[in-house]
C-alpha cells in the first residue's frame, strides 16, 4: 500500500514545520511521494535530497481557472525548484463554457512543459462537477495528449469514487495511469480504489490508512 501513496498536505495553513514532518513521515513509511504547495517545493526537495521519495506539487490549485501562461510559469518555477511530479488542475471554467480549443491548447502546453524536463504530468479533471459529455470529451483529449496520469479531483470538489476510477480505466489508454484523490481516509477505501484500477492514491490521511 505505502508505495502507492502520495502523502499530501495542501492546507492553506501549512508551515515549514508541517512540511518537514510530512517529508520525514514519507521517509519513515516509504511512501511514493509527498505532495506539497508550490511554495514548499524547494524545502521538500532539500529534506528528501538523498531519499527515493518523490516531490509532487499542484499547479493552478485548487480551481484551475488561471490563464494558461500563468500555469506554465508556475509549472516551470516548480520544476526548477526540484518538483518531480506536477498535479495540474485543468480549466473547468473553460470546459463549462464549451471552449474546447482553449482546453486542448492548455492541456497540450502543460504536458509539453513537464515532458521537456522529463518529469511526470498529472491532469486533474475534477470529475465530481463534470457532465457525462464533458467527461467523455476530456478523456478523448487525454488520450490524444497522453499525460502520465489522469487524476480524479483536486479534493476540493468531491472525493474519488470506485465508479470514477473504473470509468477512467475503461476509457483511458492503458499507458495512462490513474491517481485517485479526495476523501480517501481508510485502508478499505484506498484498497477498493486500487482494485478498481487506480495506480496512485493521493491522501492527507496516509498514516491512518497504513495502520
Q: What's the CA gap between 61 and 45, in Å, rounded?
A: 20
pLDDT, one tens digit per residue, over 98-151 is: 999 999 999 999 999 999 999 999 999 999 999 999 999 999 999 999 999 999
pLDDT, one tens digit per residue, over 149-187 is: 999 999 988 899 999 999 999 999 999 999 999 999 999
Q: What is the pLDDT of residue 157?
A: 87
Output the pTM of the full model. Answer: 0.97
Q: What is the pLDDT of residue 117?
A: 98
The single residue listed with the C-alpha cell 495553513 is: 13
E strands along 90-210, which residues?
Answer: 120-124, 149-151, 177-181, 200-203
Stretch (H or E) spanning 12 = none
Stretch (H or E) spanning 81 = none
Q: What is the pLDDT of residue 63?
A: 94
Task: Measure the CA angle with vertex 125, ends 124 and 126; round to 5°.
Answer: 100
The closest of 101, 121, 102 to 111, measured between CA atoms, is 121
Catalytic positions, written as ranges: 87, 151, 179
Q: What's the CA gap between 110 and 122, in Å, rounded?
A: 10
Domain residue spans of the chain: 2-210
Q: Domain 2-210 adopts which CATH fold?
A: TIM Barrel (3.20.20)
Amino acid at each position: 500500500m505505502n508505495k502507492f501513496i502520495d502523502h499530501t498536505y495542501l492546507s492553506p495553513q501549512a508551515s515549514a514545520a508541517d512540511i518537514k514532518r510530512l517529508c520525514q513521515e514519507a521517509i519513515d513509511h516509504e511512501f511514493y511521494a509527498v505532495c506539497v504547495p508550490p511554495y514548499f517545493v524547494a524545502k521538500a526537495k532539500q529534506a528528501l535530497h538523498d531519499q527515493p521519495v518523490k516531490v509532487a506539487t499542484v499547479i493552478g490549485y485548487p480551481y484551475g481557472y488561471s490563464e494558461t501562461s500563468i500555469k506554465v510559469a508556475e509549472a516551470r518555477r516548480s520544476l526548477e525548484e526540484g518538483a518531480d511530479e506536477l498535479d495540474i488542475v485543468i480549466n473547468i471554467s473553460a470546459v463549462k463554457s464549451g471552449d474546447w480549443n482553449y482546453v486542448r491548447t492548455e492541456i497540450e502546453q502543460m504536458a509539453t512543459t513537464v515532458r521537456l524536463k522529463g518529469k511526470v504530468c498529472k491532469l486533474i479533471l475534477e470529475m465530481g462537477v463534470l457532465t457525462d459529455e464533458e467527461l467523455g470529451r476530456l478523456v478523448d483529449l487525454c488520450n490524444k495528449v497522453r499525460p502520465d496520469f489522469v487524476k480524479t479531483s483536486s479534493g476540493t470538489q468531491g472525493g474519488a469514487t470506485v465508479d470514477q476510477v473504473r470509468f477512467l480505466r475503461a476509457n483511458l489508454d492503458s499507458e495512462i495511469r490513474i491517481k485517485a484523490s479526495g476523501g480517501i481516509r481508510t485502508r478499505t477505501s484506498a484498497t477498493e480504489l486500487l482494485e478498481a484500477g487506480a495506480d496512485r492514491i493521493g491522501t492527507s490521511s496516509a498514516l491512518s490508512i497504513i495502520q
